[in-house]
Amino acid sequence: MDTRTDPIRQRLTELRLALHRHGLAAVLVPSSDPHLSEYLPERWQGRVRYSGFTGSMGTLIVTAERAAVFADSRYWVQAELELAGTGVELVKVPNGAVGHLVGWLAPLVAHGQALAVDGTVMGLASAKALAEALAPNGIALRTDVDLLAEVWSDRPALPAAAVYEHRPPEAAVGRADKLAQVRAAMQAQGASHHFVSTVDDIAWITNLRGADVDYNPVFLAHLLIPAGGAATLFVGAGKVDAALAATLASDGLVLAPYDGAAAALAALPDGAKLLLDPRRITLGFREAVCAGVQVIEAINPSTLAKSRKTAAEAAHIRTAMEVDGAAMCAFYARFEAALGREAITELTVDEWLSAERARQPGFVSLSFPTIAGFNANGAMPHYRATPESHAPISTPDGLVAEGLLLIDSGAQYLGGTTDITRVWPIGLASAAQKADYTRVLKGTIALSRTRYPLGTLSPMLDAIARAPLWEAGLNYGHGTGHGVGYFLNVHEGPQSISPAIPEPQMAMQPGMITSIEPGLYRAGQWGVRIENLVLNVPAAVNEGFGDFLEFETLTLCPIDTRCIDPALLRPDERAWLNAYHAEVRQRLSPRVTGDALDWLLRRTEPI
């Protein structure tokens, strides 16, 4: 038996014994924590521990006889590799397909039996949808048992990193003003209290940051905001020092133990009106609320507010993009000079690029794990090289192979969050690779140039980036764009440029930052993705049809022209690319010198 996967089989055996002890037919292990975070502290990485699948999204279900991970197309290649030999099968599903979970489970569970899931980490909206889907099959949903707590003997403790203040000038709006904004939204909803669990919302409201979650400068906490009086921040003991606690108190924010949030909800008086976001709170917290409290379900006001960056924040973000672009230039200059002369692997890319970013002013951390995928590895959208499994690119006496290198990377700066993908030819790109690359580039350009009415629902824009690919019978399985935080999570809502069903809160508003990242992936061959971040800004049109928005491209880094098939680009598309490169050159030239400057000048030559 493969010794790498042997521990997974042993852990599954322990989990199945716990199922038997509790009289349960199955257990569901979601990719979530009590805050419904995207990136999880180790304490809640149960799906990874009991399946071996390390992708950032996915759901594990274990029954007495079978186990399966449900994952969408971004992870299929990765999951097949990581699940091999574990006894866990892969079920390929579209995004959020509860029906697939139930369809797989129903034949394995007798009528009247129960599926267990820890209600303290299961989202309220997700739990409701799952229970409704299970009911016609006679399967009960048990949310009052945490089997992982029973079988995971060496489960990691809660993270203990200190909380710190995000200060001016980068923190352009004070926390007292942000609390006032939230309370104004509460009043509009008729709420006397508001409970927030999502860590990025809490970090934004409080102007606090932390290091409890890899790549996101956030900390574990809950927040209860009354209409009047002090708000309560439920946070781990010792994470906030005395001086910062005094500052928070002066702004109307008092501290309480992290594990006291559920009890505080239970203690709300009869007649209270509690605002909750059903997509951003767990079932466990909802069940803590007494029957005498009226619950108002609506999106967190802070989710909408933090998506709209102020003019001052946008100015800091533009600076962050410049320093990030300078780091990219320094890296690529070093990388290209070393090709065929030094040993370079996908791991080297991560190491060198991270080091260049760390030299930049205001750098705090990476914003997500660097994806450096050479050839076939680039066809896995969420691939990550490891010491045990990675591709060589170059040796001291030449190139290992020719092909495409996809690099998706980003950083957290005090003045903004970056996320950029570029593809570079190693050796000469083939005609087929150039055709794929150019069609993806055409999608990036098409959406980047789009004007649209204020309030357009963001999913309506998705097809614009796909059209150049659809024309050739091509497509990609992920969304075209996600919202990006301000020195916060690299993925944030409410906007999403994707095939998602549009909802009112997805309306595009000035100040929102979104990625534009169409792609194309040929399994076993190569992948292409070209990503920039863009800012919603007012468009200078006045034809009597209302206000319009357009995108200001924020990301500053050359788009490699050696992979372009010129015959596939129209004159207006060439003009856009040349204008973009002219701005990249103009804004980055003062920030780089020597080889980095020479590289920048070469890569921004007009075509």
- One fold for 164-306 and 308-600: no
Would you call 543 helix, strand, or coil by DSSP?
coil
What are 161-174's pLDDT values in tens digits? 999 999 999 999 99
What are 574-592's pLDDT values in tens digits? 999 999 999 999 999 999 9
Distance CA 48, CA 56 (A): 9
State in words which class domain 164-306 has: alpha beta
CA nearest neighbour of 71 among 51, 104, 94, 102: 94
DSSP class of residue 43 equals: G
Q: Look at the chain and count its residues.
A: 607
Q: What's the pLDDT at 3? A: 43
Structure-token pair, residue 309: 């960056």
| Tokens 């149960």, located at residue | 46
Q: Where are the domains of the chain?
A: 6-151, 164-306, 308-600
Residue 10's contacts (CB-CB under 8 Å, 6 or more residues apart) are none
For the domain spanning 308-600, the CATH number is 3.90.230.10
Whole-angstrom CA distances from 558 to 250, 330, 568, 596 are 47, 12, 19, 12
Structure-token pair, residue 459: 């999913």
Residue 233's contacts (CB-CB under 8 Å, 6 or more residues apart) are 202, 206, 221, 222, 223, 240, 248, 253, 254, 255, 256
Q: What's the pLDDT at 77? A: 79
Distance CA 496, CA 487 (A): 19
End-to-end CA distance of the chain: 56
CA nearest neighbour of 425 among 408, 443, 445, 407: 407
Would you call 105 helix, strand, or coil by DSSP?
helix
Rg (CA), the chain: 25
Residues of the chain predicted below pLDDT 50 = 1-4
What kind of fold does domain 6-151 have according to CATH?
Creatine Amidinohydrolase; Chain A, domain 1 (3.40.350)
